[in-house]
A and B are shown apart, each in its own frame.
Chain A
Amino acid sequence: MDFTLWDIVRNLLAGLQWTLLLSLVAFVCGGVAGLLLLLARISDNPYLRGLARGYIELFQGTPLLMQLFMVFFGIALFGIDVSAWMAAAIALTLFTSAFLAEIWRGCVESIGRGQWEASGSLALSRLEQLRYVILPQAMRIAIAPTVGFSVQVVKGTAVTSIIGFTELTKTGGMLANATFEPFLTYGLVAVGYFILCYPLSLSARYLERRLHAPA
């Protein structure tokens, strides 16, 4: 069977859709989980704090590939048949939540003590302090690094090809084998990721510069 260039591109675009979808799911779910994790990480309960710290350390200190395997084979232990897509979505969500929580913690901590003390002296509870005083300020700082991290999420989805999820990289691998054109195919795969990631990188840099520009 002969492949035209368009055949290759067409198939890669189909794979790219899955990359995009997985990225979105992981980023959104990871964001929600990351927010909860953040609250635990900065709570005044030392056990909760320690647990969140351990979780973050675990996911930042091990390969995404191993996390993927652990989820994939771990869920199977419960006798539940887990699809590559589910395992990929879960693992990437956990991975994303750990990194986002840590990024956001840095942003929260960059808000000066004075803000906590001032809002505390107004009799706001800790959650109210966060909700009305700290988070609104931290969010402004957090936008650029959060967008920047989304690039890591998109790139991270490539690893899910290894457990057989047919996204862009996996599609590229199959095409490379079928066409005997690995140079062209993997080159195009790289272009596909670049098209997804570069605008995100540029926006992150733009947001970063705008934040530091005088208002």
Chain B
Amino acid sequence: MAYQFDFAPVLAQADLLLKGALFTLQLTVVGTVLGLAIGVLGAVVRAWRLQPFSAVFGAYVELIRNTPFLVQLFFIFFGLPALGVRLSEWEAAVLAMVINLGAYSTEIIRAGIMAIPKGQLEAAAALAMSRFEAFRHVILRPALAKVWPALSSQIVIVMLGSAVCSQIATEELSFAANFIQSRNFRAFETYLLTTVLYLLMAIGVRQLLAWLGQRWLMGRR
């Protein structure tokens, strides 16, 4: 092959890549915390069929799961200003991630709640706990523990999906890659290194989530 690989111009900009990677991780952390909060709320509303909220959440889940993240992002960033909602690039990115993860985690956590044996609720009820107390102390942790692997995968998918946020100029990792390759014309090398960086982040986040799950959900404290 005649092509000579040259990674030096990319490595010279490593600080930009790392800054982008850090921002991607920050977006992911905020997106995960808020997204899971929506997921828990939505799962309870769906599992207990609290109308009309259950129907609203049902529609929300279907809408989000059946449209691309990129379109959701464009709708939020370019479409919402028509309603007077003008968000900055990172706000739009976080909002899109939260909405997206919220929908998926609603379904995942709901499945976890449904998988808790009925006897657990009955035992809590027989101990005079209210439905809410039973949920908080008896149902939530085992339900999350059951579906934690699925939730972890979804969090990684959302993080990787956030690469398209470069399209609204959110300055995350793929934005940094675009910027670097537009200046050094070493597109392949730039994207190769970026891809490797994403892969390492995916592996790292997966490990971290597995550790957190072990510690907080399955842990014997």
Contact = CB atoms under 8 A, between A and B. Distances in A.
Interface string A55-93: 001101111111101100110111100000000000000
A65 B71 contact: no
Interface stretch (B26-34, B62-70, B90-98, B127-135): B62-70
Chain B residues touching A, majority SS: helix
Contact of B71 (A60, A67, A78, A189): A189
A3 interface: no
B72 interface: yes
B123 interface: no
Nearest to A155: B68
A57 B200 CA distance: 11
A138 interface: no
B45 to A, nearest CB: 19
Contact of A193 (B68, B164, B166, B198): B68
A158 B70 contact: yes
A158 B163 contact: no
A73 B177 CA distance: 13
B164 A187 contact: no
Contacts of A189: 71, 74-75
Interface stretch (A32-40, A41-49, A108-116, A168-176): A168-176
Given A62-B160, A155-B68, A187 B191 contact: no
Given A186-B79, A194-B67, A198-B62, A77 B198 contact: no
B187 A73 contact: yes
A66 B67 contact: no
**Which of B66, B163, B164, B195 counts the most chain A CB atoms within 10 A?**
B66
A76 to B, nearest CB: 8
Contacts of A73: 187-188, 191
A211 to B, nearest CB: 16
Nearest to B203: A61
B126 interface: no
Given A159-B70, A186-B79, A62 B65 contact: no
A23 to B, nearest CB: 11
- List 10 A-B pairs, minimum CB-CB distance, nearest first: A158-B68, A63-B163, A183-B82, A197-B66, A182-B78, A61-B202, A183-B79, A155-B68, A186-B75, A69-B191
Given A63-B160, A161-B70, 15 more contacts: A63-B163, A63-B198, A65-B166, A73-B188, A76-B188, A77-B3, A157-B68, A159-B68, A162-B70, A173-B74, A182-B74, A182-B78, A186-B71, A186-B75, A201-B66
Interface of A: 57-58, 60-67, 69-70, 73-74, 76-79, 151, 155-159, 161-162, 169, 172-173, 176, 181-183, 185-187, 189-190, 193-194, 197-198, 201
Interface of B: 1-3, 62-63, 65-72, 74-75, 78-83, 156, 160-164, 166-167, 174, 187-188, 191-192, 194-195, 198-199, 202-203
